[in-house]
Amino acid sequence: MTITSERVSELSAQQVSHHVSQSVFDGSRLRVVLLVDVYDGAQQQFLEAYEHLCKQVASVPGHVSDQLCQSIENPSQWLITSEWESAPPFLSWVNSEEHVRMVEPLHSCVRDTRSLRFHIVRETGGPATDAATGKRRLQSSPRIGDGVVRHALTFTVKPGSEEKVASILADYASPEPQVDEATRLCRTSLFMHGNRVVRAIEVRGDLLTALRHVARQPEVRAVEEAINPYLEQDRDLDDPESARVFFTRAALPAVHHVTHAKDTPEAERHALFYPAREGLGMRLAELLAQQDAVAAKDSRSPILRSTVFERDDVVVRLIDVRGSLEAADPVVVLGLPEPSQAAELTTLLDAGAKSGDPARLLASARMALITDRRSPES
């Protein structure tokens, strides 16, 4: 049987997709679905706020179109769908301070929201590739996940309080991992880099349900209250608006995840912090994601899995390493197996983080582990 070069490429893409469970960097269009529950009697106020917001969103780079729908069964339920040229421009906008200010008028008339993001895989009519630009419009093949949703939160604490905050965050009782029949907390890993805290969460099931479950637990609430005096951004957890704004700004979404090999008992978890130059965070995250996807094909790689998180100019890469990190090649650990990639990385990093020596760059990027907790049977 003769296999054409096109078929070889297709088979190769399918094999790689079995490694990757999440990525925003395949260039395909994005569909965003926002489910909105409006307060009774506030429908007209909501509509007017949406129309004002719609005019502003139209000028955002990468935005294609949007549509507002109202339920025929319950007038309090609304659906907003929007289409974007690809995921990165949407994420850059939705995670920006501009977006925080833009959606503020909606808060007084909205009881609850739920945002869902999807790459477009297939559609009726139209080619998969844009004839004018040559860019792919649709995701080439479905990704094969592992059923785990990955998310992170990041915030800064007042300089000088790092040791106290680390002590508080390390000393707490883990909440009950089973949220409901469909949702379970799998793992929580906390790291610090200077005065920046990163909390990475792995959930099997629904992320929003899990986050709300954790927020209601007394042991978690006690820790959050204990670190409040040390936060650089003030918050009042008893004020829903204050808490909402804080956690909106703290969200550090996973933009890429790749699994290289099955987990092993001796695997060590580490986090690397890559402070990007202003406006270059997404490009830096994309570079790391590209190299992680390439490394997934190498069975000799010490990196078992890697997750890249990005928001604005904050890029964090969470890695599980086979054996000791000190014994591994720092270039490989940094996610840059080629010298040219190492050179590009230095052009994307903030001036204070640059280093021509990979070992020194790795040392400056490593975050201090505060706690890493896995729930049983996760």
Indicate if the pLDDT at residue 370 is higher than 90. yes
Instruction: Mark whether 223 and 275 lie in a shared domain.
Output: no
Of 4-8, 138-142, 199-203, 342-346, the poorest mean pLDDT is in 4-8
Report pLDDT for 338. 73
Confidence band for 51, pLDDT divided at 50, 70 and 90 = very high
Instruction: Mark whether 229 and 271 lie in a shared domain.
Output: no
The torsion region of residue 130 among left (phi > 0), alpha (psi -120 to 50) and beta comes to: beta
Report pLDDT for 377. 66
Tokens of 292: 């992680």
* Structural domain span for residue 70: 30-119
Flag whether 44 is in a domain: yes
Q: Which residue has the higher pLDDT, 316 or 303?
A: 316
Indicate if the pLDDT at residue 166 is higher than 60. yes
Among 193, 217, 251, the domain boundary falls at 251
Of 146-150, 268-272, 337-341, the poorest mean pLDDT is in 337-341
Share of the chain above pLDDT 90, in %: 50
Report pLDDT for 365. 92
| Global pTM value | 0.88
pLDDT (tens digit per residue) in 322-332: 888 888 888 88
Instruction: Mark whether 246 and 259 lie in a shared domain.
Output: no
Instruction: Mark whether 324 and 234 lie in a shared domain.
Output: no
Confidence band for 3, pLDDT divided at 50, 70 and 90 = very low
Flag whether 49 is in a domain: yes
Confidence band for 296, pLDDT divided at 50, 70 and 90 = confident
Report pLDDT for 16. 44
Among 79, 102, 119, the domain boundary falls at 119
Instruction: Mark whether 196 and 287 lie in a shared domain.
Output: no
Report pLDDT for 4. 43
Of 5-14, 106-115, 160-169, the poorest mean pLDDT is in 5-14
338-347 own/partner pairs: CB under 8 Å, 24+ apart: 338/291, 341/287, 341/291, 344/287, 345/274, 345/284, 345/287
Report pLDDT for 2. 42
Flag whether 277 is in a domain: yes
Instruction: Mark whether 267 and 228 lie in a shared domain.
Output: no
Instruction: Mark whether 292 and 348 lie in a shared domain.
Output: yes
Instruction: Mark whether 107 and 175 lie in a shared domain.
Output: no
Report pLDDT for 344. 81
Flag whether 289 is in a domain: yes
Instruction: Mark whether 263 and 246 lie in a shared domain.
Output: no
Instruction: Mark whether 215 and 300 lie in a shared domain.
Output: no
Indicate if the pLDDT at residue 355 is higher than 70. no
Of 86-100, 139-153, 258-272, 355-369, the poorest mean pLDDT is in 258-272
Report pLDDT for 11. 37
Flag whether 265 is in a domain: yes
Flag whether 139 is in a domain: no
Flag whether 143 is in a domain: no
Report pLDDT for 354. 62
pLDDT (tens digit per residue) in 176-228: 899 999 999 999 999 999 999 999 999 999 998 898 888 888 888 899 999 99
Among 251, 276, 296, the domain boundary falls at 251
Instruction: Mark whether 163 and 238 lie in a shared domain.
Output: yes
Report pLDDT for 126. 67
Report pLDDT for 122. 87
Domain of 362: which CATH number?
3.30.70
Instruction: Mark whether 258 and 245 lie in a shared domain.
Output: no
Cα–Cα distance for residue pair 325/335, rounded to 1 Å: 13
Flag whether 134 is in a domain: no
Q: Which residue has the higher pLDDT, 127 or 207?
A: 207
**Rounded alpha-carbon distances, angstroms, from residue 153 to 168, 256, 275, 315:** 17, 16, 16, 12
Q: How many domains does the chain have?
A: 3
Domain of 68: which CATH number?
3.30.70.100
Report pLDDT for 132. 63
